[in-house]
Amino acid sequence: MNPRFFCPDGLLPASDMPLPAAVAHHAERVLRLAVGDPVTLFDGQGGECAASILAFGKQPLARLGPRLAIERESPLQITLVQALASGDKMDWVVQKAVELGVAEVQPVAAERSVLKLAGERADKRVAHWQQVAVAACEQSGRNRVPVVGEILPLAKYLARPFDGTRLILAPGADGALARKARPTRPLAILIGPEGGWSPAELDLAARAGCEPLALGPRVLRTETAGLAALAAMQTVWGDFPGEADV
């Protein structure tokens, strides 16, 4: 696969197009690409363009081919609702969730979240996670960039309308994916923080219509749980190959 770059300001298919400064810097200084090297460009609006580097320097340029109608999106519209986790765990979760095909990442502040963010610090962290999502799309071949939402208190998130099914991961829950019908509407999967959901939060989620879900007898870490759920959903309902496809 040729190196892939996100051009947020749009593409000019079948033309010579100036490269964004950040893209040109990464291509030349980090990946050590040279003039004439092939690349793939996408703008998040669907599809991609095969291109080649024409120039670096003060006016970096690429020669683009036509826009190719290539999509690598999951048939499932899944929002990962992730309680804030400490350290670099959120980076890991966002990166891997995008690779696994999630449509959106919604960070929420939970009672037992170790990480506490507000104001400018929260805005900067969300912007950082959005860039993590962009890089994950570049790596994984996705041409549509999932949105990382603003950090919301759990209660505020649950008060928002959602035209689909909300599942909440809770150890000991009776629900299992194998007993649920394939969804025909969007899905949201809620993942608790390091200390787990509080009883009050589980009650609030139940009153908001969230269905409890368990992923076996073991307790998973917050940075593992959501990714395991996404992988399981893609296997049971999504675009992971089944036995007949292997």
In a domain, 73, yes or no: no
CATH code of residue 100? 3.40.1280.10
Q: What is the pTM of this model?
A: 0.92
In a domain, 23, yes or no: yes
What mean pLDDT comes out for the span 4-29? Answer: 96
End position of a domain, from candidates 45, 68, 91 = 68
pLDDT of residue 118: 86
Domain identity same for 40 and 123: no
Share of residues in the chain with pLDDT > 90 (%): 85
Inform me whether the pLDDT recorded for 58 exceeds 60: yes
Domain identity same for 188 and 82: yes
Domain identity same for 94 and 10: no
Contacts of 169 (CB under 8 A, 6+ apart): 189, 190, 191, 192, 213, 214, 215, 225, 226, 229
Share of residues in the chain with pLDDT > 70 (%): 98
Domain identity same for 148 and 219: yes
Inform me whether the pLDDT recorded for 160 exceeds 70: yes
In a domain, 61, yes or no: yes
Mean pLDDT (the chain, rounded) = 94
pLDDT of residue 201: 97
Domain identity same for 150 and 205: yes
pLDDT of residue 125: 96
Inform me whether the pLDDT recorded for 244 exceeds 70: no
More confident residue, 165 or 177: 165
Report which of 88, 87, 33, 82 is spatially closest to residue 62, judged by C-alpha positions: 33
d(CA 21, CA 175): 49
Domain identity same for 94 and 205: yes
> Which amino acid is it at 29?
R
What mean pLDDT comes out for the span 42-70? Answer: 96
In a domain, 246, yes or no: no
In a domain, 170, yes or no: yes
In a domain, 56, yes or no: yes
How many domains does the chain divide into? Answer: 2
> pLDDT tens digits, residue range 98-156?
999 999 999 999 999 988 988 999 999 999 999 999 999 999 999 999 999 999 999 99
In a domain, 210, yes or no: yes
Domain identity same for 27 and 138: no
In a domain, 139, yes or no: yes
pLDDT of residue 71: 95
DSSP 51-98: EEEEE-TTS-EEEEEEEE------SS-EEEEEE--STTHHHHHHHHHH
CATH code of residue 10? 2.40.240.20
pLDDT of residue 174: 79
More confident residue, 218 or 188: 188
What mean pLDDT comes out for the span 207-217? Answer: 92
Domain interval for residue 114? 78-241
For 11, the token pair is: 């593409």
